[in-house]
A and B are shown apart, each in its own frame.
Chain A
């Protein structure tokens, strides 16, 4: 097991494309870290640099105490699980599992023992004689995982290992990976663009965009306090509603104004945002922070909306509506499963003001605010 640290790591390809810029990150020994971001954000490239499959243009990579920049992938003692599994198609499952050990000249009896152990753990014991072509997606996934586990490496690097599985299997494998981490306690870096994986699996997540780290933190911390509009719009589904508006001084206070909607800010926030009065901002309102009934909330503000459409999901209903009445900006609101409304219907919802987010429109960064929870 080992800690992994990146210090101002850059990756520039020979054609001049800069894929990763100044990434600095400390991953603790035994931590389950998620790299989250859209396609092309540099998360896989960062992972491949840690694995040694991509060279590091500048900066320093350490696995444990040792600098690893120029160390061969084989000597980094890490294991990687690829998105498409990258099994050796001509080898049986047993050979796939044992190949790395064979190359390291581990004695045959030891190899067999370890293969049997891993196969039993992952439930692939009866597949050992088969070739990858005769396995299902989920089984291949397990073999790829087994190939990483059997080497007993210092860290596991998982490059979108669940993205090729169907939804049900993905949910099952998610749980299994979490259990596996609890059992082994090995450092894991899991690359994904799926925010459900990011929220549920990792102890911390590192959100990347355009080759740079945008925010690092525990999932709920990031959910509660997104650093900018990108994180706010990326995490959770449906994501936070981001509406252009402004902060205006109103009689005796400060209000967030978006279209026809006025949200009078509570006292602690007034102080925090007072300096931004009159400036254009982006308001961030999570769909789950609108309530049909404001009685249970300590800080709430009624808002008028005009219903546009309903998305009935079963456990809940997503109400698509216009904030502040007809013609206002379109937002999504999470409602209980028995909620109904007709298009064009005018409704009064209550917004939980302790959860309002305000972002600077120019920099897209969140304006600092006191915690109201």
Chain B
């Protein structure tokens, strides 16, 4: 489609092109509307009504009632805090680990392809499979992890059954699964950095540390921010791992917001309130995405 500022400047052939463009794009647009935009607005509409699966109707308009009720619930606030903690923990740990590995891989010359293949393996796996595998590995009495620990004389740990450990176990599994995403993105950024400033810095007298802090980090800033934000947005939505591994338990120690919303909707059957919670979460993720988009635009 043309980027001409105003319609009057379009020639008949431009207009024909434009019509043809819309025609070609319309099936995809229709599908996008049906499966994304429509459900979002439906959820927004539902969140304003007292809609439950016991009384599935829009008879009672509640306005912001579902929102105030959700935010007033201690359990919902708990899941928000827990999710925030989880997101911060996984993003920061994955970033630190990912950057370290990316820096190491960036200086590797041989067998790069093999390292890439190994690294990408976890990323290619479905989160449900990852959850199932780790649930087996971490089984208190039959899992291989506790067996290996017992070999070196460490007492077995109740990885997923203890309120103190379960959250960190989920964090660990998520890191195992997602750290390669960080590595791949950061490595792409590192390998695209110009070589010459480093040579100039060597002649200027910079040490490896000074090169890292004064050149690599500032030059990588756009890549770092984009990587962190993408990972942040994905981490906020974590659901599959929880559903497979802990179901929010033990107690509410791994009860993340997306799992809590699911339970509100399909266990408590309160679709209206669950929709309100989803909208709150959506607003948060949308805010992050908008920031990401703005930031990326500002770099161009």
Question: Which A residues form the contact surface with B (CB < 8 A)?
Answer: 51-53, 72-75, 78-80, 82, 84-91, 99-100, 103-104, 147, 151
Contact = CB atoms under 8 A, between A and B. Distances in A.
Given A86-B199, A88-B197, A89-B197, A103 B204 contact: yes
B206 interface: yes
Contacts of A88: 197, 200-201, 214-215
Given A51-B203, A86-B200, A90-B215, 9 more contacts: A53-B203, A74-B204, A74-B206, A88-B197, A88-B200, A88-B214, A89-B197, A99-B206, A103-B210
Interface in B169-208: 194, 196-197, 199-206
Interface residues of B, number: 17
Interface string B136-167: 00000000000000000000000000000000
B219 interface: yes
Main secondary structure of the interface of B (DSSP, over half): helix
B97 to A, nearest CB: 25
Interface of B: 194, 196-197, 199-206, 210, 214-215, 218-219, 221
B197 A52 contact: no
Nearest to A82: B196
A100 B194 contact: no
13 contacts: A52-B203, A73-B202, A74-B203, A75-B205, A79-B203, A82-B200, A86-B196, A89-B194, A89-B219, A90-B221, A99-B204, A99-B206, A151-B204
10 nearest A-B residue pairs (beta carbon) = A86-B196, A74-B205, A100-B204, A90-B218, A86-B200, A103-B205, A73-B203, A73-B202, A88-B197, A80-B203
Given A86-B196, A86-B200, A100 B205 contact: yes
A94 to B, nearest CB: 15
Nearest to B204: A100
Nearest to A48: B199
Contact of A74 (B194, B197, B202, B221): B202
B205 A87 contact: no
Main secondary structure of the interface of A (DSSP, over half): loop
A147 B200 contact: yes
Q: Give the residue among B200, B201, B218, B221 with the most A Cβ atoms within 10 A.
A: B200
Contacts of A104: 205
Given A84-B196, A86-B197, A89-B197, A78 B219 contact: no
Contact of B202 (A53, A89, A151): A53
A367 to B, nearest CB: 44
A46 B219 CA distance: 29
Nearest to B109: A14
Contacts of B199: 53, 80, 82, 86
A79 B203 CA distance: 7
Contacts of B218: 90-91
Contacts of B214: 88, 99
A52 B205 CA distance: 12
A211 B194 CA distance: 27
Contacts of B196: 82, 84-86
A80 B214 CA distance: 19
B23 to A, nearest CB: 41
A90 B205 contact: no
B25 to A, nearest CB: 35
B141 to A, nearest CB: 53
Contacts of B210: 103
Nearest to A88: B197
B248 to A, nearest CB: 44
Contacts of A89: 194, 197, 219
Contact of B206 (A78, A80, A90, A103): A103
A93 to B, nearest CB: 14
Contacts of B215: 88, 90
A314 B23 CA distance: 58
Contacts of B205: 73-75, 100, 103-104
A90 B200 CA distance: 14
B146 to A, nearest CB: 47
A85 B200 CA distance: 9
A80 B196 CA distance: 11
B203 A99 contact: no
Q: Give the residue among A72, A73, A84 with the most B Cβ atoms within 10 A.
A: A73
A88 B155 CA distance: 53
A258 B159 CA distance: 92
B200 A80 contact: yes
B260 to A, nearest CB: 43
A88 B194 CA distance: 10
A174 B194 CA distance: 27
Contacts of A84: 196
A220 B201 CA distance: 37
A180 to B, nearest CB: 19
A221 to B, nearest CB: 32
Contacts of B202: 52-53, 72-74
A100 B194 CA distance: 19
Given A88-B215, A90-B219, A103-B210, A78 B203 contact: yes
Contacts of B200: 80, 82, 86-88, 147
Nearest to B200: A86
Nearest to B219: A90
Nearest to A51: B203
A89 B196 CA distance: 11
A147 B200 CA distance: 10
Nearest to A86: B196
A53 B200 CA distance: 9
B201 to A, nearest CB: 7
Contact of B197 (A72, A73, A87, A103): A87
B219 to A, nearest CB: 6
A251 to B, nearest CB: 65
Nearest to A103: B205
A151 B206 CA distance: 14
B212 to A, nearest CB: 13
A96 B214 CA distance: 11
Contacts of A78: 203
